[in-house]
A and B are shown apart, each in its own frame.
Chain A
Amino acid sequence: MIKFFLMVNKQGQTRLSRYYEHVEIPKRTMLEAEVIKNCLSRSKEQCSFIEYKDFKLVYRQYAALFIVVGINETENEMAVYELIHNFVEVLDRYFSRVKCFIMFNLDRVHIILDEMVLNGCIVETNKNRILAPLLVLDKMAES
């Protein structure tokens, strides 16, 4: 199962965090700092899967943003790697340029993430279906 889903920038500030199992608040900050440290120190030739404590981190870099997903051994690493990309593509479709607007629309990003991953499992990967509720919401708001 997916343990957590983080979006962190290069300075180490968390832009988005979603935990699928309960982690104490102080532990979260520690975890995030360590995770980003691990990811930042990787070079391009190294693979995207890091073994960290007793689970794995799958990370992907998009310009100044790192998306890191913590998984345990029941998940297929490659599938999660592509999930990250799928997520970014959905965001891309919804917002015209992703990076600036994530922070301003955190609730929307959470909605999108919740549509895709629920309780640590991948539930929906179809872009249209993911965006459908959001589009309805927007239409309601305009009217």
Chain B
Amino acid sequence: MPAVSKGDGMRGLAVFISDIRNCKSKEAEIKRINKELANIRSKFKGDKALDGYSKKKYVCKLLFIFLLGHDIDFGHMEAVNLLSSNRYTEKQIGYLFISVLVNSNSELIRLINNAIKNDLASRNPTFMGLALHCIANVGSREMAEAFAGEIPKILVAGDTMDSVKQSAALCLLRLYRTSPDFVPMGDWTSRVVHLLNDQHLGVVTAATSLITTLAQKNPEEFKTSVSLAVSRLSRIVTSASTDLQDYTYYFVPAPWLSVKLLRLLQCYPPPEDAAVRGRLTECLETILNKAQEPPKSKKVQHSNAKNAVLFEAISLIIHHDSEPNLLVRACNQLGQFLQHRETNLRYLALESMCTLASSEFSHEAVKTHIETVINALKTERDVSVRQRAVDLLYAMCDRSNAQQIVAEMLNYLETADYSIREEIVLKVAILAEKYAVDYTWYVDTILNLIRIAGDYVSEEVWYRVIQIVINRDDVQGYAAKTVFEALQAPACHENLVKVGGYILGEFGNLIAGDPRSSPLIQFNLLHSKFHLCSVPTRALLLSTYIKFVNLFPEIKTTIQDVLRSDSQLKNADVELQQRAVEYLRLSTIASTDILATVLEEMPPFPERESSILAKLKKKKGPGTVTDLEDIKKERNSDMNGGTESTPVNASTASTPSPSADLLGLGAAPVTSSAPPPSSTGSLLVDVFSDSASVVAPLAPGSEDNFARFVCKNNGVLFENQLLQIGLKSEFRQNLGRMFIFYGNKTSTQFLNFTPTLICSDELKSNILDLTEPLDMQIAVYALITVCQMHK
């Protein structure tokens, strides 16, 4: 065993290093370094040309000083000079310096490139190796330009030494990464694939790394590598421990190479050729079997290496997602690891299981481990392991265990690390919405969420809960009651005040009957929080107050007093002041009818993708979450898409004129028995069902249109986001004809669209002809011909 060779060993350097180590303080160290730097500087500038040994020594010292953290701004020239020396040691120090202290001085780059070119052409494997190492570690664009053509040739030439091949492969990889345009695909690609069959496993390792990256951009070129990789892998895995000699690490044959080959296979889909596929399956089964066998060595290194290969194999199985029994075996193996003594294994098992949960074959198997995962969540001491457990719970959630998982996540949230709270909040919100069978549970969950982690509840979450409460009638009363009770807590979060304010403003009337939640009590409750809130919340509360004026006329004067107070009317914030002034005025001058119309209950929100999901995707970045979500959507397409078709009945308009009668009827009846087909699996499907909540005979907003037709024959009668109803009428003497146009404003087709004409008996007799509506995608029109007999 060679001792530390001092023969070539630069005595001065050793002395220098001992000096530094002996320095007692930072200042002493800096002083010593500066002294040395001055010395070196003078030596470099000196007239006498330095001999190779001295140059090497000084450059080495500079390198060491750099390592200590001081910037070096000279010495590069000398290092470049060392490159052209013929002695290996000097050359090596020169290259080391260059590759560690990269600098973009153009003069030097040219010289460096020249030196490298000479070395590459020298055919001396050691020199070539050094040069290639340098290119691989520096890999600047100029180098790429200069050498990208040559390297592939060196790589596939028959007479290159193995070690040079290794370096060349990785050199090419580096150049490809930095400047892919300089490395075109050529006929060398097929030869590179053949390197996988090489005797020397080091070459195979390097080639695999290269092919893995290249295959990601040019999969077609490297398709043939799949079968070679599989055969290589099976040879390694089935080899006895004596075969591979030095490449066996603690009784595990070539673990790093196996891992790399498995990674390469993950770039491609499962092989089509049955023989290759069979071999691969066999190979994977062998790896899984080995994991079950008793270990050949007690050392932790043996099990670590074995498990490294195992985890990579499991990744491959998950990636292929085609063999159910392999997936189930993998899942069981991971399940065993979940309770292993070693934290590392538990961490990796949780991570792998997360990806496993999204595969349809193994989803059920993953769910069986839910108790273990929940336990891990509660008892793990390492926060990153707990985080993985949360991710896994999110991935394995489905209808059957949603309530349990959401409850556990809420529990965890109370003690979670601050940096991850927002993510957990978003996840809980998404899960609660997706799997809510009973929306009262959903409302409870969100309110709990606000209570526990109010600061981290972003806007999207509470917007969503409001949207859902407004769109669903059945939960409105419950929401109002729960919010009211929650607000009574002495310290409640501002987000809760926002949600509470909004909901009570809309649906406070539903609980006003109960003496404990009478209008005045509701108002006082909200107002007690008023001064503790920020400006946007106060603005929202002011809107709520005016809604109260409409809902509960008995407390109008109280509210008006509040609005009239100086702190509102002369408020520093413009928005609040404006609202206070306008609402006050509105409440004083508007009649009850107008007030009722203006402050009418919110119409149901239209369908759109959950913004919470979008926010989570943005947070996590592309990849895991989006895939899981898409897969979940496809699998559970009719999750909450309860197709509710509520036939809507319009009541007859009570206005006198006959033509107005007919007009009033055209507006309301719209039935659709299926939701627009594009939104498979979207979270809220009920678009039409809630038009029943439109109580007024005429849809709001169409009153003006309606009145217009007293003196006009043509025009738009009614319009909303989905439908536009236009009218065109002609009258001649005693005959009248009306065309009613129903325009479809969405991009999807209405199915079973049936307009119903309802009119009083008296008029019915006067209808001569009612054409059946035609089915068209864009517009449907009905033609009514009326004959008015003078009576």
Chain A: residues with CB nearer than 8 A to chain B?
A: 14, 16-17, 20, 22, 25, 28-29, 43, 45-51, 74, 76-79, 81-83, 85-86, 93-96, 101, 103-107, 110-111, 114, 118-119, 121-129, 133, 135, 137-138, 140-142
Query: Please, which residues of chain B bring their CB within 8 A of the CB of A106?
Result: 63-64, 67
B247 CB within 8 Å of chain A:
yes
A–B Cβ pairs within 8 angstroms, 17 of them: A16-B67, A22-B102, A28-B69, A49-B347, A78-B307, A78-B308, A79-B255, A104-B17, A105-B9, A106-B64, A106-B67, A107-B63, A122-B260, A123-B205, A126-B201, A126-B202, A133-B126
Chain B CB within 10 Å, residue with most, of A74, A93, A118? A118
Given contacts A14-B69, A76-B312, A82-B304, contact A96 B170 (CB under 8 A): no
Query: Please, which residues of chain B bring their CB within 8 A of the CB of A107?
Result: 60, 63, 92-93, 96
In the assembled complex, the Cα of A111 lies from the Cα of B419 at a distance in Å of 41
B710 CB within 8 Å of chain A:
no
Q: Is the CB of A126 within 8 A of B247?
A: yes
Q: Is the CB of B348 within 8 A of A77?
A: yes
In the assembled complex, the Cα of A123 lies from the Cα of B257 at a distance in Å of 9
Q: Is the CB of A118 within 8 A of B136?
A: yes
Residue-by-residue, is B175-215 near A (CB-CB < 8 Å gives 1, otherwise 0)? 00000000000000000000000000110011001000000
B681 CB within 8 Å of chain A:
no
Which of B67, B137, B205 meets A124, CB within 8 Å? B205
A121 to chain B minimum Cβ distance, whole angstroms, is: 4
Q: Is the CB of A123 within 8 A of B209?
A: yes
Q: Is the CB of A142 within 8 A of B7?
A: yes
A7 to chain B minimum Cβ distance, whole angstroms, is: 11
Query: Please, which residues of chain B bring their CB within 8 A of the CB of A105?
Result: 4, 9
In the assembled complex, the Cα of A125 lies from the Cα of B202 at a distance in Å of 8
Query: Please, which residues of chain A bring their CB within 8 A of the CB of B88?
Result: 137, 140
Q: Is the CB of B205 within 8 A of A118?
A: no
In the assembled complex, the Cα of A140 lies from the Cα of B86 at a distance in Å of 14
Query: Please, which residues of chain B bring their CB within 8 A of the CB of A129?
Result: 163, 202, 246
Known: A45-B343, A74-B263. 7 other contacts (CB 8 A): A47-B344, A47-B382, A49-B384, A76-B308, A94-B1, A118-B133, A122-B205
Which of A28, A77, A111, A125 meets B247, CB within 8 Å? A125
B541 to chain A minimum Cβ distance, whole angstroms, is: 41
Query: Please, which residues of chain B bring their CB within 8 A of the CB of A119?
Result: 136-137, 139, 170-171, 173-174
The A interface, classified by DSSP as helix, strand, loop or mixed, is helix
Query: Please, which residues of chain A bring their CB within 8 A of the CB of B209?
Result: 121-123
In the assembled complex, the Cα of A77 lies from the Cα of B343 at a distance in Å of 13
Which of B67, B311, B343 meets A14, CB within 8 Å? B67
Q: Is the CB of A82 within 8 A of B255?
A: yes
Query: Please, which residues of chain B bring their CB within 8 A of the CB of A137?
Result: 88-89
Smallest CB-CB A-B distances: 4 pairs:
A78-B308, A47-B343, A141-B8, A46-B382
Q: Is the CB of B5 within 8 A of A138?
A: yes
Query: Please, which residues of chain A bring their CB within 8 A of the CB of B707?
Result: none
B783 CB within 8 Å of chain A:
no
In the assembled complex, the Cα of A142 lies from the Cα of B8 at a distance in Å of 8
The chain B residue sitting closest to A42, CB to CB, is B382
Q: Is the CB of B344 within 8 A of A135?
A: no
In the assembled complex, the Cα of A121 lies from the Cα of B263 at a distance in Å of 13
Q: Is the CB of A20 within 8 A of B382?
A: no
A116 to chain B minimum Cβ distance, whole angstroms, is: 10
Given contacts A119-B136, A121-B173, contact A103 B17 (CB under 8 A): yes
Residues 303-327 (chain B) with a chain A CB within 8 angstroms: 304-305, 307-308, 311-312
Query: Please, which residues of chain B bring their CB within 8 A of the CB of A124?
Result: 166, 202, 205
Q: Is the CB of A17 within 8 A of B246?
A: no
A119 to chain B minimum Cβ distance, whole angstroms, is: 4
B566 CB within 8 Å of chain A:
no
Residues 647-688 (chain B) with a chain A CB within 8 angstroms: none
Chain A CB within 10 Å, residue with most, of B5, B254, B385? B5
A66 to chain B minimum Cβ distance, whole angstroms, is: 16
B249 CB within 8 Å of chain A:
yes
B622 CB within 8 Å of chain A:
no
In the assembled complex, the Cα of A123 lies from the Cα of B247 at a distance in Å of 12
In the assembled complex, the Cα of A14 lies from the Cα of B7 at a distance in Å of 27
In the assembled complex, the Cα of A94 lies from the Cα of B173 at a distance in Å of 30
B2 CB within 8 Å of chain A:
yes
In the assembled complex, the Cα of A118 lies from the Cα of B329 at a distance in Å of 36
Residues 600-659 (chain B) with a chain A CB within 8 angstroms: none
Q: Is the CB of A121 within 8 A of B170?
A: yes
Query: Please, which residues of chain A bring their CB within 8 A of the CB of B129?
Result: 133
Query: Please, which residues of chain B bring their CB within 8 A of the CB of A82?
Result: 249, 255-256, 301, 304-305, 308
A125 to chain B minimum Cβ distance, whole angstroms, is: 5
Which of A17, A118, A125, A140 meets B170, CB within 8 Å? A118
In the assembled complex, the Cα of A112 lies from the Cα of B307 at a distance in Å of 26
B21 CB within 8 Å of chain A:
yes
In the assembled complex, the Cα of A129 lies from the Cα of B126 at a distance in Å of 14
In the assembled complex, the Cα of A122 lies from the Cα of B93 at a distance in Å of 23
B199 to chain A minimum Cβ distance, whole angstroms, is: 13
Given contacts A78-B308, A82-B304, contact A121 B206 (CB under 8 A): yes
B414 CB within 8 Å of chain A:
no
Which of B8, B167, B256 meets A79, CB within 8 Å? B256
Query: Please, which residues of chain B bring their CB within 8 A of the CB of A128?
Result: 246
Query: Please, which residues of chain A bring their CB within 8 A of the CB of B80?
Result: none
B280 CB within 8 Å of chain A:
no
B14 CB within 8 Å of chain A:
yes
Which of A51, A118, A141 meets B167, CB within 8 Å? A118
Query: Please, which residues of chain B bring their CB within 8 A of the CB of A142?
Result: 5, 7
The chain A residue sitting closest to B139, CB to CB, is A119
Query: Please, which residues of chain B bring their CB within 8 A of the CB of A86?
Result: 249
A27 to chain B minimum Cβ distance, whole angstroms, is: 12
B150 CB within 8 Å of chain A:
no
In the assembled complex, the Cα of A137 lies from the Cα of B90 at a distance in Å of 12
Q: Is the CB of A104 within 8 A of B14?
A: yes
A42 to chain B minimum Cβ distance, whole angstroms, is: 8
Query: Please, which residues of chain B bring their CB within 8 A of the CB of A76?
Result: 259, 263, 308, 311-312
Query: Please, which residues of chain A bring their CB within 8 A of the CB of B434?
Result: none
B130 to chain A minimum Cβ distance, whole angstroms, is: 10
B574 CB within 8 Å of chain A:
no
A4 to chain B minimum Cβ distance, whole angstroms, is: 12
Q: Is the CB of B170 within 8 A of A123?
A: yes
Which of B93, B137, B307, B343 meets A118, CB within 8 Å? B137
Given contacts A114-B133, A121-B170, contact A29 B343 (CB under 8 A): no
Query: Please, which residues of chain A bring their CB within 8 A of the CB of B342?
Result: 47
Query: Please, which residues of chain A bring their CB within 8 A of the CB of B89?
Result: 137, 141
Query: Please, which residues of chain A bring their CB within 8 A of the CB of B64?
Result: 106
The chain A residue sitting closest to B175, CB to CB, is A119
B3 CB within 8 Å of chain A:
yes
